[in-house]
Structure 1
Amino acid sequence: MKRRDLLILSTALPLLAQAQVSDLSDAINKAGRQRMLSQRMAKAWFALLHKTEVRSAQDVLDKSMALFDRQLVELKAFAPSSEILKTYTGLDAAWSEYKTALVGASPSKTGAAAVLKADALVLALAHQGTLQYEAAMGRPLGKLVNIAGRQRMLSQRMAKFYYAAVLSVDASTAVAEIAKARSEFTSAMTTLRGAPEATPRIRDELNLADGQWIFFDQALDRLQSGTAAAATAKSLSDVFVTSENLLSVMDRATNLYASLKSS
């Protein structure tokens, strides 16, 4: 695939969300999307620090922050129990700290540790909320929506840690996290493909995801020593673009799972 085609795919990412949470399946989807956004914002922040795909990275950061804000309000309003509401109240506070880390100053290496710490807390709470909504649904379909949605997060998490490793910000941890996420991603794809609920349309999207994964995985493979010398401008750009393309496909697949009738 030519680089121009990759860029076209990345700019086509809709990540559209309904104005309100319609049901528990939609809640799991949006709650899972919050996990992804926590990592996507960090990825975009690091891309800006590396001066990689600057216009796209700024657009991704701005739109992701706006979407996170909107979905957080929706998920809090929909909360069917005090426990879930408590999680999202905590997430609201953590998100406030994260926003400060993201936009309180221009991206710099000195601010990288604060961004990683803040995004980790937001991710943990967003994941907790997703699991709580899955439990509230209590159906096998809820777990599939969760698994498919988590693939979106993993795509962004790997890209984020790639940029952190290249910047030599806790590079050994970053490389280990990439390896862990790679294994989790491929295992989950096997689960999703084998699910009896997977319709032909869902399988088509998963096949497209397999193709995008090849490009993304190749981009990740260029990380060698975990230092700035190990990456070129092209490899930094490729990681951004291919992670966006993989995200786009997995978001569509997750939306398809979420739109199925619960069984």
Structure 2
Amino acid sequence: MKRAIFVFILLFFVATQVHAMTLESTEQAINNSGKTRTLSMRMANLYGIQVIKDYPTEKKRLAKKQLDEAKKVMNDIYKALLSYGPVTHKPELARTVKEAQDNWHHMEKMLSKPPTQPAFLDVLDLSDRLLEANEMMTSYMESLSPVPTSEIINIAGRQGMYSQQLARDYLAASLGIDKEYRIDLMLDVAVEFESAMLTMEGSTENTAKIKGLIKSITKMEWRKVYGSVTECIESNGTKFNVGLLVKFCDTLLEKTTRLTGLYIEVS
């Protein structure tokens, strides 16, 4: 099951590589831009997994493989956005994309270093800066489209980012890195995730298929993630099961990715 989830996520991001070179609509540009937010958190997460001493060797190898794939996808997305027509004709937007790309290059260099806890500290900091730059870039992209569904696509896409941000901060807390701060971040993200789910539940764009998937995420995947995070918080950061939480968050990413795709279909 876990391998199936990995394949789905990998195909989703690899598909971005194929289509990114020929972006044909603002919705595609928004979607690809939004994926950089998820990738900024996911790559920090994948790097951190390799730092944990007692984590299974095979899973560390898989994390490295996923990280290498994610790097390639990230580079392709920035190149595609910079060559997208509306971006090339708007200097301010092009500058915003370039600034995000520059932030990415700084993080990319750090991700190429051997995984150690000190290096992970730097990756955590750089991933926050990259996320901020990618958020700004995506907001600019969204402003290009007068289509109302672009906002709901953005909201759905952000849920995938939240799944990986939770995994990243849970992992960091398990290593004793700014534990109280990371727990506070997890609480904030949990609130944002639930608020976004409520927004999507009330969207006029919802089809029967979308409604069913939202219900599945809320009642199943999110409940599992929330339960693990709550256990950690209620134990004052003494109870961790990184492998289980990572698995739950990857499943949540797979489902929210599928949800984003459904919103794109009706846009």
TM-score > 0.5 by shorter chain: yes
Which whole-Å CA distance do the structure 2 matches of 1:167 and 1:178 have between them? 15
Q: State the Cα distance separating 1:9 from its structure 2 match.
A: 3.2
Give, in whole Å, the separation in 2 of the partners of 1:138 and 1:172. 41
Runs of 4+ in 1 over 4 A off after TM superposition: none
Residue 12 (structure 1) aligned to one of 8, 20, 42: 8
Q: Is the 8 A contact 1:112 1:169 kept in 2?
A: no
Identity fraction in percent = 24
1:64 & 1:204 partners in 2: Cα distance? 29
Aligned residue pairs, count: 251
Match for residue 163 of structure 2 among 155, 161, 164: 155
1:25 aligned partner, one-letter code: E
Q: Distance in 2 between matches of 1:29 and 1:56?
A: 26
CA RMSD of aligned residues (A): 1.6
Q: SS at the partner of 2:177?
A: coil
For residue 221 of structure 2, what is the aligned residue in structure 1? Answer: 212
Q: Which residue pairs with 1:194 in the alignment?
A: 202
Match for 1:260: what amino acid? V
Q: Give ranges in structure 2 of 5+ residues lacking alignment.
A: none
Q: Contact 1:7–1:241 at 8 Å: present in 2 too? A: no
1: distance between equivalents of 2:65 and 2:212?
29
Alignment of 1:1-263 (within 5 A): 5-6=1-2, 8-13=4-9, 14-15=11-12, 16-17=15-16, 18-19=19-20, 20-50=22-52, 51=55, 53-78=59-84, 79=87, 80-103=89-112, 105-210=113-218, 211-223=220-232, 224-226=235-237, 230-231=239-240, 235-261=241-267
**Distance apart, 1:251 and its partner CA:** 0.8
Higher relative contact order (CA 8 A, sep 6+): 1
Distance in 2 between residues matched to 1:174 and 1:87, nearest whole Å? 28
Counterpart contact for 1:6–1:242, Cα < 8 Å:
no
Q: What's the offset of the Cα at 1:208?
A: 2.7
Q: CA contact under 8 A between 2:170 and 2:183: conserved in structure 1?
A: yes
Gaps of 5+ in 1: none
